[in-house]
A = this chain, B = another copy of it.
């Protein structure tokens, strides 16, 4: 039987020599924490006992789905990093512990924010004033929304900056890792990508904190995230050169 050439490498960059193809314990540990995080986003702690409870929980499918996508974007960055460099030294383990901690404390604020945003959009599209009223009295006071945006922004910024620090560490020991020119170029690009992914939420958090835009603070700090597509596309194009 003819031997397979590219066993388990389809879809990977053929010019990058992946050093971490064997899963280490650091990754196994992180995956368990991520899986727990996602489960805690999606599932409430108690199963529904009546159909009404079940039906109400279905409402949250959209916001929870968005949260899962977000967490998986972070997981993917983590996955690519460990696949590329296969590092498991004490510095990476320290950064990774910090990352797991950030993800876990970030899970509930994320869930909370996305439920609110979803209710807001439902309220906007259906012009249902009651939704707003209920939201801004029993769930969150209007004056607390900038604090929420700040929490969310700081969390996201810390997460992506931690991944950036991981890439910086890989760059620092590039000679030990025997990175060639192409691999160094790719590492630098990934470092910049993660820095940019952290700067946007940091900007949003700072705006929310500053109170510069008065009562529009919540809206403005939210719309900052619109910068993601243009910034990422421009950066992607520049990195390819």
Contact = CB atoms under 8 A, between A and B. Distances in A.
Interface of A: 1, 4-8, 10-12, 17, 19-29, 31-40, 42-51, 54-55, 57-58, 61, 64-65, 68-69, 72, 75-76, 79, 82-83, 85-93, 97, 100-101, 104-105, 107-109, 111-112, 138-141, 144, 147-148, 151, 173, 176-178
Given A10-B173, A93-B76, A51 B19 contact: no
Contacts of A50: 138-140
A79 B139 contact: no
**Best-surrounded residue of A45, A108, A148 (most CB of chain B within 10 A):** A108
Contacts of A38: 33, 100-101, 104
B177 A10 contact: yes
Contact of A97 (B20, B24, B31, B72): B72
A51 B12 contact: no
A105 B64 contact: yes
12 contacts: A7-B86, A10-B85, A11-B89, A25-B31, A29-B34, A31-B32, A32-B32, A32-B35, A35-B36, A54-B112, A61-B105, A72-B93
Nearest to A47: B108
**Best-surrounded residue of A54, A61, A92, A100 (most CB of chain B within 10 A):** A54
A36 B39 contact: yes
Given A4-B19, A8-B19, A11-B88, 17 more contacts: A10-B86, A10-B89, A11-B89, A12-B88, A21-B22, A25-B27, A27-B28, A29-B35, A33-B39, A36-B36, A39-B104, A42-B105, A49-B139, A50-B139, A51-B139, A64-B101, A72-B93
Contact of A92 (B11, B104, B108, B109): B11
Contacts of A93: 72, 76, 79
Given A8-B86, A8-B88, A12-B89, A141 B23 contact: no
Nearest to A86: B8
Q: What is the predominant secondary structure among interface residues of chain A facing chain B?
A: helix
Contacts of A144: 51, 55
A133 to B, nearest CB: 15
Rank and list the top 7 A-B pairs by shortest CB-CB distance, nearest first. A11-B89, A32-B35, A51-B140, A8-B86, A42-B104, A29-B31, A36-B39
